[in-house]
Amino acid sequence: MRSVWRFLASSYLVAIASTLLLAMVLCAVFVPIMSAHDAHEMDWSALEQPPTFDHWFGTDLVGRDLLVRTMEGGRVSFTVALIAVTVSLFIGIPWGATAGFVGGKTDQIMMRIVDGIYCLPGILIVILLVVVFGRNQYLLFAALGAISWLTIARIVRGQTLRLRNAPFIDAARSLGAGTGHILLRHVIPNVIGPIVVYTTLAIPGVILAESFISFLGLGIQEPDTSWGVLVSDGTQTMESSPWLLIFPGGCLAVTIWCLNTLGDRLRDLLDNRETRPSS
Amino acid sequence: MKTYVVKRLFFAGVTFFVIVTSVFFLLRLAPGGPFDGERRLPAEIEANLKAAYDLDAPLIVQYGKFMANLAQGDLGPSFKQKDFSVNELIAAGLPTSAALGITAFVLALMMGLGIGITAGLQPGSVVDSVVMGLSNLNIAVPTIVAAPMMVLVFSVTLSLFPAGGADSALHFVLPTVALAIPLSAEIARIMRGSIAEVSHEPHVKTARSKGLSTSRIVLRHMMPIACIPLISFLAPAAAGLLVGSVVVEQIFDLPGIGRYYVAALSRDYTLVMGVTIVYAFAILLFNFIVDLSYGLVDPRIRVET
């Protein structure tokens, strides 16, 4: 816990990014509950209104409060991140650990598959999946996870290879531990650091992918909303009411920036620790 | 080197085959057909339609026919846009998409290399922090936000460029820049890191102490090593560019093949297949070239595999 605080206080960039991100998450959770307005409530006396004291972000074409809608969109983005990243961990960690630990032909085949998928435009695969199975948002989240496990698998494999011949693994094996047990109890706990770092770096990618798909009209559907949907709507009306584009787009950009900054810093920290000569 | 090339080629071929096959079966297994319109067709007419498009044959026969046609470069008729074959539709859109993609790629490479090398040669300087701060910002502002903002500023407010369409070269300026900027920011970050790392290598210090000019040191002594991380980034970069181009074509109303992808919702099986095949082919071809240049730059790779 103390090392977490030390990390957060390590530079002003990290401090700013983590504060902003926390604020964004808290707003997404609490603003829709606490606001006087509802995301679907239409105020016919305030159509397409610029930001006012009553509607901080202004209102959209049918008089819905943009602040509440933007934060509802934020909920979608954070949910996407949570579900997709969980899916990617559930596929990526076992895949990478098995490939790295078993080695040989198995490793080659498994990593060739990863290489093959890696060079495909993942979002287009998700679009195909959405087309085929209909626009179910949980399926969309899972599909996003299913394309973002590749990096995790690669990282875990690399780390596992490094650990495979470590003395404590040999010790566990000589005590009669099976492969599954060794992977679960000895290998994976030792690769948690890199997994955390690359998960942080994967989240912005997933959030971006969801907003791309929703922007194209293939993701979240009205009356539900997400940042991609809001930006897409904002694009239609940006000449007469630019705030409909600027606020949701700004929230999206800020969130991505925070996550990227935190991920980069965590990676630097990890790299330093690994290249430091072991005592 | 020869076995290396053959191996990569074989791998690309297998990947292509797997992609085409899985997309074919995925789309056919999907619920709902191309003729399930709002108006229910009489059973006989629907049967005739299906027969005309070979939809009544067993799946495996359809697959065989499709692959046989594909081998001859024929992608079949479009299910939705009558009178057009998929080949014609793609031929109509591909030049636009290819022009957009290639110019954006070259632009991104030039900007990214220039910025990355400049920043990497003087890490910690003001130039470095400004440039890297900007590129972090560029990565964070997604195309779906940045591109409309560009239209707002340069087309609506300043009226410098047209907002949409593809009538002249001027129409391509904004889309190309919108597509290139995020990619160039990534390239700049990667180059900055590897240039900064390489500049501590002994052989670079030797070159410097011999009094060689900076440009010669960068080009002859640093680049061959520093560009390896960049090369391995190029394959996913090309994939990202493709995805970006779907969005950019939509925003700037360019008649490329990206918009056919969104038409996928209308279950135009053959058209979606066609576009996917073109995309997969482009990506695999590009990867193959990247792999070859990898082997050329780093001799260890062609020996190993």
What number is the average pLDDT over the span A41-46?
70
Contact B139 A254 (CB under 8 A): no
- Find the residue in B nearest to A268 (Cα): B193
Residue from A16, A70, A113, A120 to probe the interface with B (highest B Cβ count within 10 Å):
A120
In this structure, are residues B164 and B96 in contact, taking their beta carbons and an 8 Å threshold? Answer: no
Count: domains in chain B: 1
Question: Half-sphere exposure of residue B179, counting CA atoms within 13 Å on the CB side?
Answer: 33
- pLDDT for residue A103 is more than 70: yes
pLDDT along chain B (305 residues), means of 10: 81 84 78 62 72 72 82 76 78 85 91 88 82 79 84 80 73 86 87 84 86 84 82 79 84 81 67 81 83 75 56
Q: What is the pTM of this model?
A: 0.81
Distance (Å, rounded) from C-alpha B18 to C-alpha A125? 13
User: Residue B146's closest CA among A92, A268, A253?
Assistant: A253
Q: Answer left, alpha or beta for residue B201, where phi above 0 means left and psi between -120 and 50 means alpha.
A: beta
What number is the average pLDDT over the span A148-166?
85
Element (DSSP H or E) covering residue B104? helix B86-121
Distance (Å, rounded) from C-alpha A18 to C-alpha A255? 10
Residue B126's pLDDT is what?
A: 84
- Which residues in chain B have Cβ-Cβ distances shorter than 8 Å to A254? 140
Residue A276's pLDDT is what?
A: 47
Contact B239 A133 (CB under 8 A): no
- The CATH number given to whatever domain includes residue B111 is 1.10.3720.10
Contact A216 B246 (CB under 8 A): yes
| ipTM, two decimals | 0.75
Per the structure, the complete domain to which residue B206 belongs is given by: 1-305
Residue B303's pLDDT is what?
A: 58
Q: Is the peptide bond before A223 cis (omega within 30 degrees of 0)?
A: yes
